[in-house]
Amino acid sequence: MSSRKSEKMGDGLASESDLLDMVCNHLQYLKFAEFEETVKVFEKEARRKGKPVLRSAGHSRRDSKTISIHDDFLSSFNDGDYKVFSELWAKTIPPEIRDFDPVAQKLEFYLQIHFTIYPLKSPVGSHDKGEFENRITHFKHYLETRGAALSQTTEFLPFYALPFVPNPTVHPSFQELFQDSWMPELRERLEKFLSVTLKASNTPRLLTLYVSFLSIQQMQLHLTEVERKSAICMRRFTKLQADHHNLIGITAELVDSLEATVRGKMISPEYLQGVCMRLFSGHMRQSAAQSVDFTRPGTGYYSMSPYDDGYVSCLSSCLACMTMNVPLLPSLDYEKLKKDLVNGSDRLKALLLQALRWRLTRSLHGEQRDTVLQAFISNDLLERYSSKQKTVLNLMKSKNEIVRQYMARLINAFASLCDGRMYLSQIPSLLRFLLDSLKTEEKESVTRENVLAAMQKLSLRRAQQSAMIRDGLIGWLVKELHDSDCLSDYTLEYAISLLMNLCLRTQGKKKCAEEAKHVLIVLTELLGHENHEIRYYVNGALYSILSMPEIREEAKQMSMEEILRCYTKEENSELNRQIEFIIKQLNSVDIPELEPESDDEEDDDDDDEEDVMEADLDKEEVLQPQPKELSGESLLTTEYLGVNITLQQWSQPWSWRHPNTAHFACLLSLMHQFQVLKSTV
């Protein structure tokens, strides 16, 4: 009987103890939130009723422990004991503060510097060289790991060169570190940080529980969302898998049909329409599939979902090729065109320049575009052989800004194609017009952007490179790039790419050597640009000009290697590899060039460059046609149609029964893809 009674009393005491523990958690929070009056009333009544208040002692113990940790931090700081300090930092400072708080990250960086240079602050003659080298090794490891996060911060950038400086005590960049005031100021920053952080680490348990509860709720919501997205992805995967097998079957059937076409057997349009209906049935409504114009290349492909297999493009293109060839654009009366370009009104000139450019930029890549370009060249659209005082090229000096802009756009379009660059290179006065335009047009005008882009493309040819170098273009580019923050990405990319092309030539390197320091300063400022394409060109230019001994010497005086090392901390392995090559070039010995400068200006590498007609050629069109005003292709085919071509002849398509080389190549490509697909099943 007595044992049962004692058990009940024990249960009651346990329950009361749990309740007191919960109440004390609330009391702990009240003290943390500084509800002092409430705490006094609670403690007074608890004592009156004979209830223990246990948390006060706990607070005292925690306070004494906090003071002890605080003193250990400062003691190890004063003694330069980085091992003890590092253990305390890792053990005491919460990870969310240590890894993500900017104040903590910056303070840790300066503390690492303090412990690294601590051996150098002992009296002269008593420096422990071995200990300093060990600390430098430790600091290097820090820079490559935790310190890498601050490598793009200007405030800390000079300190990444610290491990590579033989004697930091005399280096101008690190004089501040050895001043008497630097260490006390850092200690004061550390004390302020510890007073806040160590107090914050004593967060009341009640508040910790509440934060944990909120975190669990957020995780549950996140889990629900992830499960929902996972179910959607699984449905998509199942659908894609079914489409994959369906497309393989259709591909096999189409390959058989295409082989029959090559052997001369006819394939009816109705059959092709039926195959296309099956091909697109899973991706669009039946009515939409029926409305697709299968006589236009790629129509079906662009109507499909973005996650379809890539070979669908080849299928739809082949179907289009079997039904209709790409039509050739009509011939034009180029003599009348050139006459109106020279003598017409400014608006007519601008409309014609726009229409001619559109004919080139909007034509289909391949046979159609090649035909357009060859027509322009064979009819000498820019009048390279003309002896007249006023030619089409003189539009670059027109008083009308739109005419100048549209002329520059047309020249840029020509320069985008290999044959176009060859044609432009045969016009003696072209570079003079372009250089004058660069110097007179407004800094960020569309006209100057297109002129600069055209010159960069022309610089792929040696004759044009030589002429640009002779005309002092390198000096102009360096001056422009010095104020790179004021340049658009388009201008900056073409300017630095043009500079790199000119620096590949010996004469270009010699020009850079005349102002070596200025050129190196401009290029090093661009090393940290956020656009990686620009940095590739900067690296190429640096590597090229550092083959000159006088430029290498100037670079060494600027501590170029230390600057370059600061940019090897990024994750881009290709950029890091390029910088390593530049450093090797910087430290290379003087070796005479094995390949002397060639005088053969026809020895061009331009033929290896791919033709790319960029979308920016037609951006920001300032000229818009008025109501009932002809423009574009309608203007050309209405007012300037060639006398030997009728509209009926132009619109007559070739027969699908006589496929050309492009169609046959498309067939071979499709058959090859089918073999690859079949092997994956």
Average pLDDT along the chain, 681 residues, taken 10 residues at a time? 46 54 67 75 77 51 72 90 90 85 90 90 66 88 87 83 86 86 92 80 62 77 86 87 80 78 69 68 44 40 37 47 58 90 91 91 85 89 80 89 91 90 88 88 86 89 88 88 81 88 89 87 82 84 88 85 77 80 81 46 52 78 87 89 49 37 45 48 42
Q: What is the pLDDT of residue 242?
A: 81
Spatial distance between the Cα atoms of 400 and 394, rounded to a whole number of angstroms? 12
Report which secondary-structure segment, H or E, holds 666.
Answer: helix 661-680
Chain-centroid distance of CA 131 in Å reads 43
SS3 content of the chain, % helix, strand, coil (to 5): 70, 0, 30
DSSP at 652: -
Structure tokens at 164: 């590579």
- Per the listing, tokens 């806040």 go with 196
Instruction: Write the CA distances from 499 to 91, 95, 457, 541, 542, integer angstroms.
Output: 53, 47, 12, 7, 10
**The token pair that represents 194 in the structure block:** 């510890």
- Would you state the pLDDT for residue 356? 92
Strand partners, 641: 332
∠500-504-507 over CA atoms, to 5°?
115
Task: Render the burial of 607-617: b for 16+ CB within 10 Å, e for the rest.
Answer: eeeeeeeeeeb
Please report, for residues 8, 11, 15, 386, the alpha-carbon distance to residue 2 in angstroms, rounded to integers and kept in the order given: 10, 14, 20, 126
CA distance 487 to 539: 19
What is the number of H-type helices and E-type strands within the chain?
A: 32, 0
Tokens standing for residue 190:
């550390």
pLDDT for the residue 610: 62
- The encoded tokens of residue 400 equal 């009308």
The alpha carbon of 675 is separated from its chain's Cα centroid by a whole number of angstroms, namely 36
Distance CA 240, CA 238 (A): 6
> What pLDDT score was predicted for residue 491?
86
Residue given tokens 């110097």 in the structure block:
439
Q: CB atoms < 10 A from the CB of 370, how many?
A: 14
Coil, strand, or helix at residue 641? strand
At 644, list the tokens.
């030997």
- DSSP secondary structure code for residue 389 in this structure: S
Bridge partners, residue 332, by sequence: 641
Encode pLDDT of 236-294 as tens digits. Answer: 888 888 878 878 877 777 777 777 776 767 666 667 667 766 666 554 434 434 444 44
Q: Provide the pLDDT for residue 273.
A: 67
Q: 481 and 499 in contact (C-beta within 8 Å)?
A: yes
Please write down the HEC assignment for all residues of 310-335: CHHHHHHHHHHHHHCCCCCCCCECHH
Q: Tell me how far apart the 2 most distant CA atoms of the chain are, in Å.
A: 129
- Report the interhelical angle of 506-514 vs 489-503 (nearest 10°): 110
Distance (Å, rounded) from C-alpha 361 to C-alpha 611? 12
User: pLDDT at position 293, please?
Assistant: 43
pLDDT for 40: 77
CA angle, 417 as apex, 414 and 418 as ends, to 5°? 120
Cβ atoms of 665 and 381 within 8 Å: the answer is no
- For 255, 464, 600, the CA distances from 606, given in Å and listed in that order, are 38, 11, 14
- E strand or H helix at 215: helix 205-262
What confidence score (pLDDT) does residue 201 get? Answer: 52
For residue 472, what are its two tokens? 């002092």
Cα separation, 476 vs 439, in Å, equals 9
Contact 645, 365 (CB under 8 A): no
Closest CA to 307 of 252, 238, 230, 236: 236
Q: Are 450 and 438 in contact (CB under 8 A)?
A: no
In the prediction, which pLDDT does 399 show? Answer: 92
Sequence length of the chain is 681
Is 650 within 8 Å of 328 (Cβ atoms)? Answer: yes
State the distance between the two ends of the chain, measured CA to CA, in whole angstroms: 80
